[in-house]
Amino acid sequence: MSTTEVTPHLTEPITFWQSTNGKKVVMAVTGVMMFGFVVGHMLGNLQMFEAPEHINAYGHFLHNLGELLWIERGVLLLAIALHIIATIQLALRSKAARPVGYSRRQAINSSYASRTMYWSGPIVLAFIIFHLLQFTAGYIHPQATFVQGDVYQNVVSGFQVWWVSVWYIFAMCLLGLHLSHGLWSMFQSVGLAHPRLSPYLLNAARAVALVIVLGYISIPISVLLGFIK
């Protein structure tokens, strides 16, 4: 039988990356990194429920990290880039794997979240770009004013614009959806499964995702309801 040659080990990392399984591992690992940021960012944001000085000081602290901040940003950017590149490559491969589609399809076992990963991901990405332009760079400020350094005031005035809040809440819900499948899927991708543990894993992932969503959207909701002024 004819065989296709594979060059031995010098190319091992390349082979790993080229395999669909390898790319999924990369997606899982980069996913964990981004998840770490999501958790940290949420914890930071929740300081909105304390006095304005707290979060302003926190913002100040972050800005003064200097190189560390840029390293963190670099790592995150790399993670995002790898996550996206792997996704695109795998999506193209999947598309090619079924050149003729079904006339009729019915999902019987998959969650809505898992089927919409290709949508929830890019929309969340688009939101992040908007979000950075609004709160980090201050390029877009639908609110009346943007004061560099006054995080508290910027958030409050930002979220008082109704559609900013709605867009934020919508994006966070999508993030939650993305995480509810992604957090579980990454265990599958790296092969951490146990017959007794796995059934709980999916529920645990959903619970964590829910906590994240609630944590984030509590802020615009509180602003809109006037709890935070």
The residues that touch another protein, with contacts defined as CB under 8 A, are 1-6, 8-9, 12, 15-16, 18-25, 90, 93-94, 96-111, 114-115, 117, 181, 184-185, 187-195, 198
Pick the closer one to another protein by CB: 5 or 67. 5
Q: How far is the CB of 181 from another protein (least distance, A)?
A: 7
Pick the closer one to another protein by CB: 101 or 226. 101
**Centroid of chain to Cα 61:** 24
| Alpha-helical regions (H) of 98-225 | 112-115, 117-131, 151-160, 162-190, 198-225
Q: How far is the CB of 182 from another protein (least distance, A)?
A: 9
Pick the closer one to another protein by CB: 56 or 114. 114
Q: How far is the CB of 207 from another protein (least distance, A)?
A: 18
Query: Which pair of tokens denotes residue 29?
Result: 């690992």
Q: How far is the CB of 176 from another protein (least distance, A)?
A: 17
Inter-residue long-range contacts of 102-105, CB under 8 Å, 24+ positions, other chains counted = none
Nearest to 55 by CA among 139, 154, 166, 160: 154
Decide: residue 124, CB within 10 A, 0-12 exposed, 13-18 middle, 19+ buried. buried
Distances (CA, A) of 79 to 53, 127, 181: 32, 17, 18
> Cα(7)–Cα(224) distance, rounded to whole angstroms?
61
Q: How far is the CB of 180 from another protein (least distance, A)?
A: 12
Residue at token pair 């065989």: 3
Pick the closer one to another protein by CB: 94 or 148. 94
Pick the closer one to another protein by CB: 107 or 225. 107
**Centroid of chain to Cα 168:** 13
Pick the closer one to another protein by CB: 99 or 226. 99
Q: How far is the CB of 125 from another protein (least distance, A)?
A: 18
Q: How far is the CB of 95 from another protein (least distance, A)?
A: 8
Pick the closer one to another protein by CB: 98 or 229. 98
Distances (CA, A) of 151 to 47, 53, 145, 220: 11, 9, 12, 14
Residues shown for the chain: 229
